[in-house]
Every structure is written in structure tokens, then in C-alpha cells.
């Protein structure tokens, strides 16, 4: 029956029929094919899906689109793979790269709120409306708007069904056209037409369609014809063809053979197989007459004149409704021809295919007609569409907009269906609704519109009051009117930015360097942190370095070098966080910096920036991952008479205290556990302190546990105070900006950017501090850095004496009297006393996160062997200050050295004084174990240990060959070159080759 029926669709052309069947030929299910044939014969084309309850087939025209999308999936994957490698999309692959099937319920929303709305505009009492589940009633309008609408709609009362022209310029497999057929049928029947007459009129007069892809056109052709046959059994014999066409396979023309009118006609289609429906053609009487004369009188060896005339007719007329899901493709993936065409013809929407199609839709629609498209949401908010957006708001009218969250359409980005009037109705209140992914169940909304989501009926004139005119339909009039105030640009300015053009050379972390006059603090991005912190980087501020920055256009103005300012991170995947910049710090291009006209810290401004009000405004005016000073300056300034200085200063102090509690702070003084241990020695304070933090809870078993609990209480108090302060600021700014209906002042715990106590993290940081004391970097008798280069001062160290030779060996057993575990035990005793030493060590071991059995000392040893250096590199962001000699996986020998005590003799001293000594110990132990085995003593245990020691000895011997080459080089380091450079430098051998003697970072 397919052989009998389908060729009729294509003038008995077997080739076209064969191509039509290709998209479904992969299906080898005979029952499926037979059912398709039967469906055609039984006037029920839409029968391909199976009812889950009955097992019977049910109507679903979506199957055509699914089949086509599946058929193209392999090619699409290949095209996307090429795009990921920055290969531009050729014209042959545009269709595969951009085709996206539209779910049925979204199609219904689009058609009902464009074609359906067109009909209701002039026939409000139509019975057809009862069939439209996704139709949204028009919002109540003011008398002034009603008067404008009455004038526009006066002619629609006389509109007959035959007069409606509906086009899908990117029709794909015809899904939108098929549902438009259903809505048109409902309209015709409501006017008294028979189904047969209605079907003929719909195909002949109402439906029009275009697509770049010939196969998509064939499927759409098939779908429309079968839809017509559903209502008219003899439709296929009536010779009525759908008004559909495509752009592939257009002829290559030798223009020199053509007369001028025909040449002008043909030139309009040049590269149309790349541009698709974005091309425009001009209806011209001279061309029309020439075409009439030309048709049928000349054998066109260059072909397809009838095809071009069909395209010309479709493209040159205007439509009551333009409705489509246009292709999505950013300009970065377009080929050069397409990029140039969009720049020339669609300069305001050139960033993406879909935006250009929105503009094209307006030129295809009649004045006061409807342009309805489902597109990416990007045009609603992003700055790259600002010009286009402002033009649309000034010249068009948003009637309906359905905003959809990521994955609602089955794709990983937000989308929007917008139905526009092709004219501007001043103060018209459009209807807006939001669909979240969680609102979708079995591929359709659980309810429509969703009751608990954003739903608004507002005038788009409101959007124009906001900078960049985002389509922020959920805002209140108070929010919009706030922008009638002057903005912050009158009281603040951008600090500019410093750009080194070579961060590898000119930027360090502060703990890497020696010369603190040459290296200046540098705000350079960082973690999500409010009020204070992220002060880790330094920049080379020597005269030669500044000259280099200036030569390349990256040097800060000297007048702004050392002024108080507010800074933040340019790029953030979540919320922005604002903090003060230390006065003497400079700032990079990734840390936008805001300076007040008074060149003083403006604490009220900082409070506002970190408030929920600023966050809310920024999400609307700048919904990108970048927040620049310009974005802040555009916000409304209602703060001139507001004083929240005390609260903000308190927040800064709290955040600074937290930041300085960790050793990556330049102003770190001592570890919190050590600080609290000193507090505990004050007999007059200990009772009250313990009662305050313990209450009725069980008492600590040792001073270290008590110190942690005191620290935990300190952190909790800080966080509670900061949270209360931030909520108070939120209340103040919400009231000032009149946003009580939109916002609440509560702050979530996750948004408090100072740290809560964490037993494992803080215990590991205590161990790190202990290692710092072992090397003399810190001292129990001196706050802050005791030694970070320069002249050694022994008078700083009394309570705990640092290691003498800058080498802390880490071995699996206690081979050295001054190994790192022994030193750590001595440190714990020095801090907390001898009486509770074993309890304290047990508490440390239990909370380092090391699994397995063993004594406290054994677990601590395992931590140093397996985890310490990983932690150190993580905390110091792969710029470690303690360097690990490491022979390999057998743990034959490891040792830490402190870079600020490094000399040309360090590598040799480690090799001779420690590794060679360990090798002698290994050899002696091997002899002893072999004797035990020979004597039959603990044979199994001894053999296992012998094997292990033998492997460790071999590992150190192999390592010795490498370290020997490095010792011979006697390499000096310059700490101002930074860790990365020096770490590689000290591993170079005398032959110039690199030998991996240090652990990988």
C-alpha cells in the first residue's frame, strides 16, 4: 500500500519516494510498518505510540520527529565532535548541527498562543478555544491599552479561516505545522465548514513552511498530506500540494546566460542553502512578469525553476503568524560565509542563529501579526543581545512568554517561548510564566500554568527602566522604580586594573618570596569570601616590572596604587562576594576594584554589595558569570544618607580574625589550639572558660581536646554574630529599596564565608603548625613568622627548639632520634605538658583520619608517610614551603626540608647524614634478619620483614644514583623566583638533566 500511496505525493517520482522512506527504513519491525500502512488507510495517521495501560497504539505525530532525530543522530554526534575541536560547521552540516525536536506540549503552547490568539482577537466567543489546554487568557488591560488593541483588532472580526496564513520557516519534520492543522480544523469547524472542505483549504491556503534540509521537508510534506487525508479520504487524489519547500539542492547558476530580471531573481538565492530562511527576497512587478513569461519557455539546464519560484512565493509574502523552533548555533561555530552574512544583515542578533531568526520572523509577519518562537533564554538577559532586546521592547510587544528551566525541553540550557505582536502596544501587560524541571512529569507539566512558580502579568515597559533592559518579568514596580534614582557612578569609579602580561614571572604567593619591598600584596581573585580575605598573591612591583606592565598597557595609575577600595572576583559560578582591599595591595584584571570619590573605605557600600538586595539586582541586570565594576556602577544609589559602618566594621573584624587563624594568612600569629592552650594556663580564667563552653557536657579528657572545643565555640560565636549582622544589613537594605515583597533577610549557613570548626581539618592544620615550629618558621615564643629567610635568631626559640640541620626524616620505623614523629611528640609535650602527653597523642591520632590499627605514634607516623605532603601541597596551592625528598612507593626514605633554610649543601647533607645512614641501618637489619631465619627463629615473620627491608634498600640505592648527580650540581636557589622555578631547578643534575628526587607537586 505504501507503493500505491506514497508516489502520489511526489508526482510518481520513485526517487523522492525512496528518500522519504529512508528515515524509517532502519526499523525492521514488520508490525510497526504494517501499522503505519494501516493507519494511513484507516484515516488515523497519528497512531505510532503505544498506550502504556492498554498496549494499543495511540495518536502521536511526534514519532515523525523522533524518527528523523534518530536517523540524524550519528551525523549530529560527528558534527558536534568536530565543533568541540573548533571546526566550523559547513553548509552541509548546518542542519545536523542545529535540528532540535520540539516536545508536543510546547508545540501546543506555541500554536495556541499565536494562531489561537489571532483567531480569538477577532472571535472571542469561538468554540474552538475550548480545545486549547495551553492557551493563556490575555491579562486585564488599562482603558488606554484596550483602545490601542481595539484599533489593531478591528479588522480581525471580519477575518475568515481561509485568509489566515501560518508559516513555520524552520519546519523540520512538520510537528508545528501538524498541530497548526488541528487548530485550524477546530477554527473551520467552529465556523460551520465540513472536515473535507476544511482540510483542502488548510493545505491550499493556510499552512506554509520552509526548511534548510530536504529530508526534513519530505517528512513535513508526508506529515501534512497524511494529516489532510485523516479528514478527507480522497485527498491524495485531488492534486493539492502543501505550500512547503527547502533550500538544499539549489541550482548552480551561470548568470551570464540570464536576462537582467531573471538574473536579479536568481541572485537573491545565492548561498540560500547556507542561510536558509534568513534570506529575504523582494517582490517586484518586473520580476513577477518576467517569471510569468519565462516559466515553461526555456529548458533550464541549470535546473529547478519551479522550486525557486515556490521559494520566491513563500519568502516574498507576509504572514499572520510566524511560528517556529529556529536553529541554535553560536557565531563561534559558524562558517565564515554565515558569520559575514549575519554581521551584515542581522548586526543586532549576530551572536546566534536563533536570535537572527527572531528578527527574521518580524519581517515575515504582517504588521500586528504574531511572531512566536521557542529559543534559548540568552536573548532575555545577556549583554550581547542588549541592542536587539531594546529594539524589540521599543517596537514590538510581548504577548506571552513561557520561561523554561534547564532540561525542561530535554536540553541542558534554559529556553523560552515568546509570542510577540509585530507592533508596539504601549503599556501592554503580557503574561509570563515559569516552568521548572521538577514541574515536568512524563514529559508534560503536571499542571499549567504552575501555581507556585513565577507567574506575572506585567508591561514590558517596566523592563526598559532597568539597565540593559533584561526581560525580568518577576520584578516588582518598586524594583524598577529604584532605577529612576541616580546610580553609583556619581560616587564611585573603577580602579582600573593591573595586567602583568606574564603572571608566571611577575606573580607569586606571599610565602614564596623574600624581598617584601619588591613584592606587593595583589588582589587576584580567590574563593567565595565576603568582607575580608583571599590575600594570598603578591606582584613584582620593582621599577623594571612596572615598566614592563606599562609598556604593554597594563600598569595601574599611580594615584590609585595605595588607596582603600572594595574588590571581588570577576568570574564566579555562583554568588559574588565583596571585601576590602588592604590599602597597600594592588589589584589585577580578575579582581574588579571599586573606589569611592573620597578615596576612603565606604563601609555602607560594602554592606550593600554583600546584601541580598545587591545579589538580587545583579542576578537581573547581569546574569552572567562576570561581575565588572561597570555592572555595579549602573545599580541605583539610595545609600547616601545610610550609615551601617559599625555593623560592617564588625563583619570585617570577624572575617579578618577568621582569615588570620590559618597559616596561609600573611598576618597569622599562632595556631588556635596553641592560643587556647596558653589561655588555659591562666588559672583565674580557666573555670569560667570551661563552664562557658562545656556547660553540662562531659569534660575533656586532655588539654588538646579542650582546646579544640574552645576553638569550636569561638568559631560558632563568630559565625552566629556574622550571620546576625548580615541579616540585619539585609533588613535595612530591603526596606530602603522597598523589596519586602520579593526578599527576606535570612542568610543560609552555607553563605557564611568564615569557617566552622572541623576536627580533622583543624587537627591536620595543627600538625602543619607543629612542623613549622620544628623548622623554626614559627615559634611558641614569638607571634607570626619567626623565620622566613634572612638572619637566624636563636633567641626566638626557648619553649621548643627547632631542628638543627633543616632535615626531618620520615621513615616507616623509628630509625632516627630526631625523626619527624619524635619531634612531633616533643612539640605536643612542650605545648600541653607531660602529664597528658599520651592522651593528647591518642586524640591527635584518632582525629587525623588515618584508618587501621596501631598505637597513636604508629598512626601519626602513617599520616606523615602517606598524607602530610598531600595536605601541605593542597593548603599551599601547589607552592609548598616544605619540600619532600622521596625515594618512591616503597617508602625507602623520605625527608622534609624548609625552603627558607635551603643552601647549596642541603641535598648533600640529606644524602650523607640521613639516607646513607639509613642504608647502613637497612643492611645491618638485613644481616640480623637473615641470621634469625638461619637459626629458625620466627621464620615467616622475619622473611616478610626481610623482603620489605631489601626492597626499601634497593629503592634507596637506585635513588642514590640520581641524588648523587644533583649533589654534584650544588645548585643555589633564589626564592624570589618562586617555588615552581626553584623546585625544578634543585633537581637538575651536573649533566643538566632533571632527576626526580623530590615528590611530585
Mean pLDDT of 507-534: 94
Question: Which pLDDT tens digit goes with each residue over 265-304?
Answer: 878 888 888 899 999 988 777 777 777 766 554 444 445 6
Q: Would the pTM of this model clear 0.85, i.e. be above it?
A: no
**Is 989 within 8 Å of 969 (Cβ atoms)?**
yes
The span from the CA of 178 to the CA of 220, in Å, is 8
**Is 579 within 8 Å of 533 (Cβ atoms)?**
yes
Q: Pairing state of beta strands 319-324 and 415-421?
A: unpaired
Res 33 pLDDT > 50? no
The span from the CA of 212 to the CA of 169, in Å, is 9
| pLDDT value of position 553 | 86
**Is 95 within 8 Å of 219 (Cβ atoms)?**
no
Q: Which helix (H) or strand (E) holds 404?
A: strand 397-404
Q: In what order do the strands lie in the sheet with 429-435?
A: 243-246, 207-211, 166-168, 319-324, 365-376, 415-421, 397-404, 429-435, 455-459
Nearest to 809 by CA among 902, 917, 946, 905: 917
Question: Which pLDDT tens digit goes with each residue over 432-443?
Answer: 999 999 999 988
The span from the CA of 475 to the CA of 472, in Å, is 6
**DSSP-derived 3-state class of residue 445:** strand
Higher-pLDDT residue of 688, 119: 119
- In DSSP terms, 211 is beta-bridged to 246
Query: For 493-538, what is the HEC assignment?
Result: EECCCECCCCHHHHEEEHHHCCCCCCEEEEECCCCCCCECCCCCEE
Strand locations in 613-687 (E): none
The span from the CA of 24 to the CA of 20, in Å, is 8
Distances (CA, A) of 524 to 568, 755, 792: 9, 21, 32
Count Cα neighbours of 616 within 13 Å in the Cβ-side half-sphere: 23
Question: Which pLDDT tens digit goes with each residue over 36-48?
Answer: 444 444 444 443 3
Distances (CA, A) of 962 to 224, 628, 903: 78, 51, 19
- In DSSP terms, 397 is beta-bridged to 421
Estimate to the nearest angstrom the gap between the alpha carbon of 863 and the chain centroid. Answer: 37
Question: Which pLDDT tens digit goes with each residue over 752-794?
Answer: 999 999 999 999 999 999 999 999 999 999 999 999 998 999 9
- In DSSP terms, 586 is beta-bridged to 522
**Is 598 within 8 Å of 625 (Cβ atoms)?**
no
Q: Give the model's confidence band at 614: pLDDT under 50 very low, under 70 low, under 90 confident, else very high.
A: very high
The span from the CA of 187 to the CA of 161, in Å, is 7
Q: Give the model's confidence band at 84: pLDDT under 50 very low, under 70 low, under 90 confident, else very high.
A: low
DSSP classification of residue 377? T
- Across the chain, what does the average pLDDT equal? 87
Amino acid at each position: 500500500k505504501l507503493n500505491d500511496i506514497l508516489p502520489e505525493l511526489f508526482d510518481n517520482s520513485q526517487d523522492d519516494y525512496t528518500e522519504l522512506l529512508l528515515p524509517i527504513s532502519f526499523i525492521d519491525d514488520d508490525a510497526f510498518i504494517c501499522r503505519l500502512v494501516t493507519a494511513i488507510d484507516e484515516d488515523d495517521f497519528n497512531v505510532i505510540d503505544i498506550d502504556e495501560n492498554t498496549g494499543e497504539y495511540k495518536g502521536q505525530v511526534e514519532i515523525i520527529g523522533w524518527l528523523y532525530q534518530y536517523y540524524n543522530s550519528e551525523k549530529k554526534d560527528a558534527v558536534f565532535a568536530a565543533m568541540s575541536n573548533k571546526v566550523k560547521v559547513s553548509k552541509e552540516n548546518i542542519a545536523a548541527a542545529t535540528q532540535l525536536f520540539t516536545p508536543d506540549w510546547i508545540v501546543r503552547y506555541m500554536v495556541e498562543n499565536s494562531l489561537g490568539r489571532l483567531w480569538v482577537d477577532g472571535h472571542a466567543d469561538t468554540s474552538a478555544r475550548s480545545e486549547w489546554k495551553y492557551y493563556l487568557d490575555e491579562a486585564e488591560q488599562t482603558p488606554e491599552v484596550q483602545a490601542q488593541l481595539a484599533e489593531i483588532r478591528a479588522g480581525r472580526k471580519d477575518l475568515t479561516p481561509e485568509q489566515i496564513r501560518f508559516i513555520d520557516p524552520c519546519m523540520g519534520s512538520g510537528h508545528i505545522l501538524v498541530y497548526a492543522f488541528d487548530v485550524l480544523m477546530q477554527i473551520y469547524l467552529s465556523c460551520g465548514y465540513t472536515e473535507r472542505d476544511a482540510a483542502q483549504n488548510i493545505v491550499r491556503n493556510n499552512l506554509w513552511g520552509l526548511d534548510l534540509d530536504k529530508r526534513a521537508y519530505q517528512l513535513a510534506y508526508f506529515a501534512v498530506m497524511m494529516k489532510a487525508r485523516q479528514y478527507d479520504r480522497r485527498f491524495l487524489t485531488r492534486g493539492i500540494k502543501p505550500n512547503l519547500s527547502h533550500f538544499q539542492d539549489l541550482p548552480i547558476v551561470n548568470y551570464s546566460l540570464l536576462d537582467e530580471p531573471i538574473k536579479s531573481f536568481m541572485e537573491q538565492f545565492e548561498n540560500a542553502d547556507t542561510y536558509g530562511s534568513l534570506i529575504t527576497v523582494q517582490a517586484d512587478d518586473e520580476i513577477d512578469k518576467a517569471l510569468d513569461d519565462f516559466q515553461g519557455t526555456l529548458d533550464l539546464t541549470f535546473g529547478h525553476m519551479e522550486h525557486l519560484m515556490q521559494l520566491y512565493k513563500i519568502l516574498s509574502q507576509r504572514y499572520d503568524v510566524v511560528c517556529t523552533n529556529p536553529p541554535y548555533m553560536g557565531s563561534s561555530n559558524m562558517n565564515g560565509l554565515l558569520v559575514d552574512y549575519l554581521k551584515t544583515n542581522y548586526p543586532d542578533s549576530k551572536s546566534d542563529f536563533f536570535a537572527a531568526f527572531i528578527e527574521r520572523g518580524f519581517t515575515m509577519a504582517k504588521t500586528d501579526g504574531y511572531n512566536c518562537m521557542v529559543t534559548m533564554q540568552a536573548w532575555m538577559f545577556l549583554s550581547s543581545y542588549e541592542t536587539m532586546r531594546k529594539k524589540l521592547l521599543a517596537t514590538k510587544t510581548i504577548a506571552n512568554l513561557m520561561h523554561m528551566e534547564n532540561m525542561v525541553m530535554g536540553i541542558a540550557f534554559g529556553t523560552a517561548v515568546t509570542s510577540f505582536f509585530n507592533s508596539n502596544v504601549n503599556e501592554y501587560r503580557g503574561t509570563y510564566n515559569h516552568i521548572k524541571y521538577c514541574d515536568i512529569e512524563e514529559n508534560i507539566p503536571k499542571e499549567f500554568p504552575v501555581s507556585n512558580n513565577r507567574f506575572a502579568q506585567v508591561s514590558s515597559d517596566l523592563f526598559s527602566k532597568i539597565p540593559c533592559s533584561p526581560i525580568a518579568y518577576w520584578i516588582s514596580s518598586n524594583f524598577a522604580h529604584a532605577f529612576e534614582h541616580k546610580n553609583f557612578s556619581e560616587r564611585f569609579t573603577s580602579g582600573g586594573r593591573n595586567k602583568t602580561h606574564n603572571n608566571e614571572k611577575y606573580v607569586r604567593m606571599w610565602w614564596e618570596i623574600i624581598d617584601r619591598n619588591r613584592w606587593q600584596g595583589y588582589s587576584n581573585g580567590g574563593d567565595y569570601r565576603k568582607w575580608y580575605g583571599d590575600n594570598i598573591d603578591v606582584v613584582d612591583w620593582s621599577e623594571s616590572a612596572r615598566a614592563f606592565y606599562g609598556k604593554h598597557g597594563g600598569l595601574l595609575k599611580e594615584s590609585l596604587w595605595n588607596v582603600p577600595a572594595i574588590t571581588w572576583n570577576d568570574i564566579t559560578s555562583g554568588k559574588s562576594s565583596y571585601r576590602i582591599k588592604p590599602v597597600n595591595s594592588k589589584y589585577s584584571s580578575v579582581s574588579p576594584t571599586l573606589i569611592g570619590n573620597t578615596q576612603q573605605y565606604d563601609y555602607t557600600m560594602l554592606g550593600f554589595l554583600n546584601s541580598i538586595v545587591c545579589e538580587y539586582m545583579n542576578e537581573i541586570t547581569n546574569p552572567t558569570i562576570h561581575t565588572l565594576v561597570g555592572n555595579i556602577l549602573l545599580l541605583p544609589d539610595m545609600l547616601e544618607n545610610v550609615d551601617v559602618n559599625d555593623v560592617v566594621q564588625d563583619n570585617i573584624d570577624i572575617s579578618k580574625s577568621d582569615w588570620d587563624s590559618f597559616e596561609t594568612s600573611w598576618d597569622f600569629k599562632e595556631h588556635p589550639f596553641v592560643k587556647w592552650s596558653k589561655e588555659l594556663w591562666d588559672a583565674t580564667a580557666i573555670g569560667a572558660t570551661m563552664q562557658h563552653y562545656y556547660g553540662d557536657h562531659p569534660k575533656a579528657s586532655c588539654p588538646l581536646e579542650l582546646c579544640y572545643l574552645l576553638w569550636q565555640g569561638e568559631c560558632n560565636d563568630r559565625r552566629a554574630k556574622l550571620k546576625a549582622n548580615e541579616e540585619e544589613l539585609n533588613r535595612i537594605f530591603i526596606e530602603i529599596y522597598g523589596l519586602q515583597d520579593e526578599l527576606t533577610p535570612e542568610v543560609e549557613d552555607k553563605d557564611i564565608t568564615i569557617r566552622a570548626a572541623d576536627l580533622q581539618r583543624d587537627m591536620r592544620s595543627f600538625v602543619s603548625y607543629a612542623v613549622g615550629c620544628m623548622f623554626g618558621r614559627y615559634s611558641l615564643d614569638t607571634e607570626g613568622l619567626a623565620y622566613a629567610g634572612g638572619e637566624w635568631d636563636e633567641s626566638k626559640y626557648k619553649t621548643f627548639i627547632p631542628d638543627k640541620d633543616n632535615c626531618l626524616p620520615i621513615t616507616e620505623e623509628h630509625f632516627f632520634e630526631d625523626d619527624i614523629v619524635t619531634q612531633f611528640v616533643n612539640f605536643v609535650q612542650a605545648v600541653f605538658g607531660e602529664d597528658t602527653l599520651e592522651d593528647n597523642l591518642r586524640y591527635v591520632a584518632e582525629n587525623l583520619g588515618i584508618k587501621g590499627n596501631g598505637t597513636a605514634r604508629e598512626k601519626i607516623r602513617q599520616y606523615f608517610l602517606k598524607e602530610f605532603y598531600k595536605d601541605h601541597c593542597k593548603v599551599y596551592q601547589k607552592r609548598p614551603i616544605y619540600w619532600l625528598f622521596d625515594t618512591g612507593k616503597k617508602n625507602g626514605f623520605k625527608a622534609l626540608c624548609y625552603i627558607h633554610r635551603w643552601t647549596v649543601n642541603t641535598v648533600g647533607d640529606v644524602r650523607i647524614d640521613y639516607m646513607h645512614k639509613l642504608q647502613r641501618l637497612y643492611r645491618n637489619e638485613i644481616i640480623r634478619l637473615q641470621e634469625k631465619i638461619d637459626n629458625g627463629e620466627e621464620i615467616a615473620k622475619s622473611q616478610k620483614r626481610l623482603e620489605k627491608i631489601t626492597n626499601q634498600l634497593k629503592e634507596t640505592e637506585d635513588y642514590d644514583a640520581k641524588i648523587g648527580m644533583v649533589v654534584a650540581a650544588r645548585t643555589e636557589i633564589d626564592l624570589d623566583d618562586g617555588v615552581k622555578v626553584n623546585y625544578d631547578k634543585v633537581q637538575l643534575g651536573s649533566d643538566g638533566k632533571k632527576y626526580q628526587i623530590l615528590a611530585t607537586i
